[in-house]
Structure 1
Amino acid sequence: MENNRSFYNEILTDHNLHPMHKHPLDTATASLEGVNPSCGDDIVLNLNIKDGVITDGSFTGDGCAISQASADIMLDLIIGKTVDEAEHLKDIFLKMIQGKATDEEIEELEEGGALSDISHMPARVKCAVLGWHTFENIVKE
């Protein structure tokens, strides 16, 4: 398990230090701010949704390593997917954070599975789900 944990930490560190999706997105068709007052995370999620498909996405803002890495991993997962597919992944991610997802479901999250340990760290849950909740709210609007 220890090797696994260091591999997961590498994924989170890499996404935090070298986020692929942290930049403004001029073509965004939807943008929404997500704030986690408990630790000061504040991101703006930008999505370009065309014909029900998330064709591009990015985020800007500041926050702890977990919120930044989680938002970046989320965008890796949902760009190129339909909104329905992305919502399915969001549901699995939120189940995983509650400790209720199956191994098969967690596999669907690819690198998102690196955040599965967060279910044992209640203080960090809001950090990990910030991007996903912001996505959920964009889709509702």
Structure 2
Amino acid sequence: MDLDSLYQDVILDHSKRKLNAGLREPFEAEVHHVNPTCGDEVTLRVHLDGDTVRDISYDALGCSISTASASVMTDLLIGRSVGEADVVLQEFLAMMRGKGRYEPDEEVLDDAVAFQGTARLSARVKCALLSWMAYQDALTRATENTEEPA
């Protein structure tokens, strides 16, 4: 089995058995993002416990790349500190914006490295990024909601 086939299997597996799918409580922020190019949608909730990403839940409608990316992302980020999660987010963004020429850190990305081939398909990059951008937005809102007034 070649590497591309393995990566395709990872994406198909995550699109079928969507980890952390279904909106859960409690949460500090909820966002809804849409990819206007293809119509993929995600509603995503973030729950923080201090500096820890305690939970990310979502409801996604879209292609297998979009839904698999949400599944992989939640699996990678839940339980990490906000700073550790940001390292993963930034590595994923660099890979997706690298147009297939960026060599990702597989230890940081784990299963998310399966989307490296997607980075070569400009029409599909937004599909893979949808849930990650929603997470970034929700994290910003959650952080704003939990900051104490001066």
- TMscore range, shorter length: over 0.9
Unaligned runs of 5+ in 2: 142-150
> How far did residue 43 of structure 1 move?
0.5
Which residue pairs with 2:15 in the alignment?
16
Which residue pairs with 2:103 in the alignment?
102
Which residue pairs with 1:122 in the alignment?
122
> How far did residue 101 of structure 1 move?
4.0
CA spacing shift, 1:24–1:140, aligned 2, 3 Å: closer
Unaligned runs of 5+ in 1: none
Q: Distance in 1 between matches of 2:44 and 2:123?
A: 22
Q: Which has the larger radius of gyration?
A: 2
The number of residues matched between the two structures is: 139
8 Å contact 1:21–1:72 — kept in the other structure? yes
8 Å contact 1:93–1:106 — kept in the other structure? no
Alignment of 1:23-42 (within 5 A): 23-42=22-41
Identity of matched residues, %: 32
State the secondary structure of the residue aligned to 2:132.
Answer: helix
Q: How big is the alpha-carbon RMSD for the aligned residues of Structure 1 and Structure 2?
A: 1.4
Q: Distance in 2 between matches of 1:93 and 1:124?
A: 14
**After the TM superposition, which segments of 4 or more aligned residues of structure 1 sit over 4 Å from their partners?**
none
**TM-score normalised by the chain length of structure 2:** 0.87
